[in-house]
Amino acid sequence: MNRHEVYMKRAIELAKGGWGKTNPNPLVGAVIVKDGEIIAEGFHKELGGDHAEAAALINSRQSVEGGTLYVNLEPCSHHGRTPPCAVKIIESKIKRVVVAMEDPNPLVAGSGIRMLREAGIEVVMGVLEKEAGVLNEIFIKYISHKMPFVIMKAAMTLDGKIASVTGDSKWISGESSRQQVHIIRDRVSAVMVGVNTVLTDNPELTTRLGSGEGRDPVRIVVDSRGIIPADSKAVTIQSPACAVLATTSLIEKDKEKLFKSKGVKVLKLDGPNSGGHVDLKLLMQELYKLEIDSVLLEGGGNLNAAALKAGIVDKVMFFISPRIIGGQEAKTPVEGDGIRLMSNAVNLRDINIRRFGRDILVEGYVRGE
């Protein structure tokens, strides 16, 4: 790792301090180096708060004049919730700015770099670009496609079952895997399940980190006919985050009223070709409007199949527990009609394998730039 990469790695580590708090804004960290030493650090702590570059400039206890600023995202050039960072950097007399990646936000998209260069500041681009892209995979999808980043998560046995023949699905994966899921729930804006999952498991869909900290995601239930009981935990649980019922015009009027009276946001999403089902692409476009930048899709098999078919899934995370339960009728993570030819399979790229206790996590991306 060269000098630039060492400091950029630090900026990326700092950025992670904003996990779960900056959505739908990016994770950004910044480091200021002068005479071979880090003299200030900062990161974007929460939505609406100081941008990372501004935070680092404020945190410096000595003059930053002539120093180098490392930041994992191009400094902004626009007046948004805060004034443009590029202007602050120019005023601070920083000599050089090292950036991991250009800002995909159309409001910025290269203009921050241009501003800096026009002011005579040396700009070095592309340091740890790939790592920076992974760090902000949610932001990049959200801002460039106007849809949330969708992570399909499942926990299955070694023989690929998500429940036994009797429907028992409690404790398929171990404690450590389940904890990891709560860490992800804390970082994403929403968690989404299908009607059958609510009917059979009645999940709370909240974040339980153990430490007492953590932020609940918005709870989304996809239920085309609006048949889940109004006293389902997903509806009634006490949480600062709201519940969304993604349904269609097939929902009964009284039921719709009942859900609304309980504070549920009811979205009717009939698509031209969705045949009485919720149009998932339309749902994603609506979620974008609600500033939901990421969705953890927790099944079950029918919704997972529909989501893959609709092309809304970005990332897959399958936890595999080394247990075998068998049963022809036992449910699997992806049901639906299935593909006919192997050549049409969903082929994951950039596969990563991690261990959580006795379980194995296989994760990868469905598509990507």
Could you tell me the smallest distance in angstroms from the CB atom of residue 237 to Zn ion? 36
Binding range to ligand AOF, per CB under 6 A, among 77-85, 173-181, 319-327, 354-362: 77-85
CB of 192 to Zn ion, least distance (A): 31
Residue from 31, 108, 181, 307 touching ligand AOF (CB under 6 A): that is: 108
8 Å CB contact between 27 and 19: yes
Q: Please check whether residue 345 is in contact with residue 309, taking contact to mean a CB–CB distance below 8 angstroms.
A: no
Measure the CA–CA gap between 268 and 345, rounded to whole angstroms. Answer: 31
Those residues whose C-beta lies under 8 Å from the C-beta of residue 293, and which sit 6 or more positions away, are 23, 24, 138, 139, 141, 142, 148, 149, 189
**Using rule CB under 5 A, residue 69 touches Zn ion:** no
Binders of ligand AOF among residues 115 to 144 (CB under 6 A) are none
CB of 14 to ligand AOF, least distance (A): 10
CA proximity to 162, closest of 137, 196, 210 = 196
109 CB-contact burial (10 Å; exposed 0-12 / middle 13-18 / buried 19+): middle
Distance (Å, rounded) from C-alpha 105 to C-alpha 76?
A: 9
Whether 234 has a binding-site annotation, put simply, is no
Segment near Zn ion (CB under 5 A); pick from 85-93, 114-122, 201-209, 356-364: 85-93
Give the integer Cα–Cα distance in Å for 194 and 349.
26
List the one residue out of 242, 249, 281, 292 whose CA is nearest residue 267.
Answer: 249
Is 110 among the residues that bind ligand AOF (CB under 6 A)?
no
Q: Minimal CB distance to ligand AOF: which residue?
A: 80
* Binding test (CB under 5 A) with Zn ion, winner from 85, 108, 151, 228: 85
- Contact partners, residue 119, CB within 8 Å, separation at least 6: 90
Alpha helix positions (H), the chain:
3-15, 52-59, 85-92, 111-118, 129-135, 137-145, 175-187, 195-201, 233-236, 253-261, 280-289, 301-310
Residue with tokens 């800002």: 103
Rule CB under 6 A: is residue 226 a binding residue for ligand AOF? no
Q: Hey, how many other C-beta atoms are within 10 angstroms of the C-beta on 333?
A: 19
- Residues that bind ligand AOF (rule: CB under 6 A) add up to a total of 16
Does 82 engage in binding with ligand AOF (CB under 6 A)? Answer: yes
Please pick, from the candidates 56, 76, 138, 303, the single residue that binds ligand AOF as defined by CB under 6 A: 76
- Sheet harboring 122-125: ordered strands across? 37-43, 29-34, 68-71, 96-99, 122-125
| Residue 51 interacts with ligand AOF (CB under 6 A): yes or no | yes
Active site residue 53: yes
Q: What span, in angstroms and rounded, lies between the C-alpha atoms of 41 and 91?
A: 18
Q: Judged by CB, which is closer to ligand AOF: 47, or 158?
A: 47
251 belongs to the binding site for ligand AOF (CB under 6 A): no
Q: Which of 32, 57, 64, 73 binds ligand AOF (CB under 6 A)?
A: 73
Distance in Å from the first CA to the final CA of the chain: 25
Residue 85 in marked binding region: yes
Near Zn ion by CB under 5 A: residue from 76, 128, 181, 234: 76
80 binds, among ligand AOF, Zn ion, none (CB under 5 to 8 A by kind): ligand AOF
Among 12, 28, 32, 69, the residue binding ligand AOF under the rule CB under 6 A is 28
**Three-class secondary structure of residue 70 per DSSP:** strand
51 known ligand binder: yes
Selected binder of Zn ion within 10, 44, 51, 161 (CB under 5 A) = 51
State which of residues 7, 12, 26, 152 lies at the interface with ligand AOF (CB under 6 A). Answer: 26
**Partner interacting with residue 10 (select from ligand AOF, Zn ion, none; CB below 5-8 Å by kind):** none
The single residue of 37, 41, 46, 53 carrying the catalytic annotation is 53
Task: Report the binding-site residues for Zn(2+).
Answer: 51, 76, 85
Catalytic site positions: 53
Which residues of this protein are in contact with ligand AOF, per CB under 6 A? 22, 25-26, 28, 44, 51-52, 73, 76, 80-82, 85, 103, 105, 108
